[in-house]
Amino acid sequence: MNGTVRLIMIVARRMLVLAVLGGVITATAGCSTSLMMPSLDDRLKGSLASMIESAQDDLWQFRGALATDPEGTLPGISFVSDARPAYGDPAFAVGEGAYTLLGVASSPDAATLTLATSAGASTGGGWFYESRNATVCFTLRFPTTESAIHTGPADCSDGQGHRLSDVENFFERHGDPIPFEELDVRATVTEADFQPLHCQCYSGSECDCPGG
């Protein structure tokens, strides 16, 4: 075998090795990317956690009134739908508010709302597209002596024997419940979570900040 043929064979073998290594690296990278992508279950739990934290945000402005007079305050909050009439009247149509009220408990120290909310998530595309909806039940406690909202788990009941499953087709429409304990949610919000944005002025525009 002359030197030219030997050189050609060496180059060919090196190209083959590089091609194999390239395929392995590409496949490994593809697997890593796939592993890093959140699953449908993870996306759904993240969406439900976001809905609970949105409830904290949305109800913050009502915290004082809810702590002392929840029954008088709730009818004026349009995004909370009261499901309690459906416990005694299966024909009652529960509204489509972002949050569904299951029960209210009051004491001189605080008022606690038991709520449900739902969310959906999807993943993939084309033949691999998947989607799913789910519900989570939780409590929001409004103390009378501090500016805070405390959040905790709930068993999807009003604590008096009535359950969300008693509301006709609720889970069929909104998805089966996922336990609150499986979600990553802020346990407590205070005034520190609702500080106003720092006022900034920009060159060439009118400035409404204090002091100009």
For residue 199, is it within any domain?
no
Asked if 178 and 83 touch (Cβ cutoff 8 Å), the reply is: no
Q: Which helix (H) or strand (E) holds 58?
A: helix 40-59
| 13-17, 40-44, 63-67, 139-143: least confidently modelled range | 13-17
User: Please, what is the average pLDDT of the chain?
Assistant: 85
Strands 80-82 and 99-106: parallel
Segment 78-97 mean pLDDT: 95
In this model, does residue 37 exceed pLDDT 90? no
For residue 32, is it within any domain?
no
Segment 87-111 mean pLDDT: 95
In eight-state DSSP terms, residue 76 is G
| Domain count for the chain | 1
Q: What percent of the chain has pLDDT over 90?
A: 69
Query: 38 CB contacts (<8 Å, ≥6 apart)?
Result: 46, 123
The 3-state DSSP class for residue 80 equals strand
Residue 183 sits in which domain range?
Answer: 37-194
How far apart are the C-alpha atoms of 3 and 17, rounded to whole Å? 21
For residue 21, is it within any domain?
no
Query: Tokens 């501090």 appear where?
Result: 146
- Report pLDDT digits (tens) over 139-171: 999 999 999 999 999 999 999 999 999 998 999
